[in-house]
Amino acid sequence: MSFSPASRVSTFGTTIFAEMTQLAIQHKAINLSQGFPDFDGAAEVKAAAIAAINDGKNQYAISNGQPDLRKAIAAHAKRFYNQEANPDTEITVVSGATEGLFSSIIGILNPGDEAIIIEPFYDSYAPDVIMAGGVPRYVPLRAPDWHLDPDELTRAFNNKTKLIIVNTPHNPTGKVFSQSELQLIADLCIKWNVIAISDEVYEHILFDDTKHIRLAQLDGMRERTITISSHGKSFSFTGWKIGWCIAPPDLTIAVRRAHQFVTFASGTPFQHAAVNALSLDDEYYAALIRDYQTKRDFLTSALSNAGLDVSIPKGTYFIMAGIQPLGFDDDVTFCRYLTKEIGVAAIPPSAFYSDEHKALGKRYARFAF
Ligand SMILES: Cc1ncc(COP(=O)(O)O)c(C=O)c1O
């Protein structure tokens, strides 16, 4: 006898990361598919986690997040964005940005509500919307510069729209949204009374002096934006799964209502260590950028020399590269070939598009550096 998955998850399949990582292991390929650092974060942050474990900080944390950590998150928002956030009513610690996204989406969407998702997307957005009973509306970024077409975006908003999910700096294109694009999103959110989830997990991975703009800081957006950050991405501890949501009190209540029954709380010793991470000085952030910029420059030139059509990322640790110059027009075929025959694993970006726009991703491969 066997049981079938519930209808709400039956269409999801296995994530492309699991498949490509498996293929990479099987063929002993260099794995540039899944996005995580190939180094550990700061030694003092590791030491803080170990000290917390040895000090007996091993039982459940407060559901909303340890008070010291919420204070440190508020200080970080003030330090980098001059953003005011009340640690008691506007900050929630979650088990990675992935949980923050899920708790936010399930906490605010009602069945039948529409959620605008910009493509290519981080692959949990659409499943989260579907699990909440919402209806995804997809708006693709347009190559070669991955711009948002103002008319396409404007047409996606209507009186059923409850939510838009924005990701800047953007995985997988490496795009950093401009002030005017964010202003257009803000204007439409205000016009249609829509909530924005701003996934800013790559806020500290920026190149060529590019500035990251926090959507919540635009006029009229503070009261309608949930900003999501990841300790894993900013401090290179992706396996610890610590993230946070900053949102006005009414939206924070919605996030917390879901969060308390999704994970209840995140790992206690890692929350103590995250307080230490958030106190690192400016040189920590400068060094992070220098290291990633060296890797970006190395991989962009290696891929260009190999004949791919590379878009140079302004942020994140991903590169989208066009595969057509090598005679391929299908990303999955190319990524399987590259893993098996060349020994390098990449991700086929069609996985980051809806069926409606899948063809747009087929001419690229995504590499992580
Ligand atoms: C755009 C984006 N959002 C969220 C996440 C997940 O972050 P976390 O590891 O904190 O759950 C990722 C990880 O790859 C990502 O690329």
Predicted local confidence at residue 13, as pLDDT: 79
The pairing of strands 114-119 and 161-167 is parallel
Across the range 110-121, mean pLDDT stands at 98
* Sheet hosting strand 364-368, strand order edge to edge: 309-311, 318-322, 364-368
Answer yes or no: is pLDDT of 20 > 90.
no
Query: Are 15 and 123 in contact, with CB atoms under 8 Å apart?
Result: yes
Answer yes or no: is pLDDT of 16 > 80.
no
**Domain locations in the chain as residue ranges:** 16-41+282-368, 44-278
Tens-digit pLDDT profile for residues 118-127: 999 999 999 9
Predicted local confidence at residue 267, as pLDDT: 98
Q: How far is the CA of 235 from the centre of ligand 1 (A)?
A: 13
Query: Which atom of ligand 1 is least distant from the CA of 170?
Result: 1
Query: Which atom of ligand 1 is least distant from the CA of 122?
Result: 1
Pocket test for ligand 1, best of 94, 125, 215, 233 (most atoms within 8 A of CB): 233
Q: How far is the CA of 144 from the centre of ligand 1 (A)?
A: 24
Tens-digit pLDDT profile for residues 249-279: 999 999 999 999 999 999 999 999 999 999 9
Atom 13 of ligand 1 has which residue's CA nearest to it? 35
Q: How far apart are the first and last CA of the chain?
A: 45
Pocket test for ligand 1, best of 98, 99, 215, 244 (most atoms within 8 A of CB): 98
Q: Which residues line ligand 1 (CB under 6 A)?
A: 35, 96-98, 122, 167, 171, 199, 201, 230, 232, 238, 243
Contacts of 60 (CB under 8 A, 6+ apart): 264, 265, 268
Q: Omega before 169 cis (within 30°)?
A: yes
Tens-digit pLDDT profile for residues 134-157: 999 999 999 999 999 999 999 999
Tens-digit pLDDT profile for residues 81-102: 999 999 999 999 999 999 999 9
CATH ID of 44-278, from 3.30.70.360, 3.40.640.10, 3.90.1150.10, 3.30.70.260? 3.40.640.10
| Assigned CATH for 16-41+282-368 | 3.90.1150.10
Q: How far is the CA of 98 from the centre of ligand 1 (A)?
A: 6
Pocket test for ligand 1, best of 173, 199, 226, 230 (most atoms within 8 A of CB): 230
Predicted local confidence at residue 14, as pLDDT: 77
Q: Omega before 249 cis (within 30°)?
A: no
Amino acid at 276: N
Q: How far is the CA of 230 from the centre of ligand 1 (A)?
A: 7
Rounded-to-integer distance, Cα 317 and Cα 359, Å: 24
Q: How far is the CA of 97 from the centre of ligand 1 (A)?
A: 6
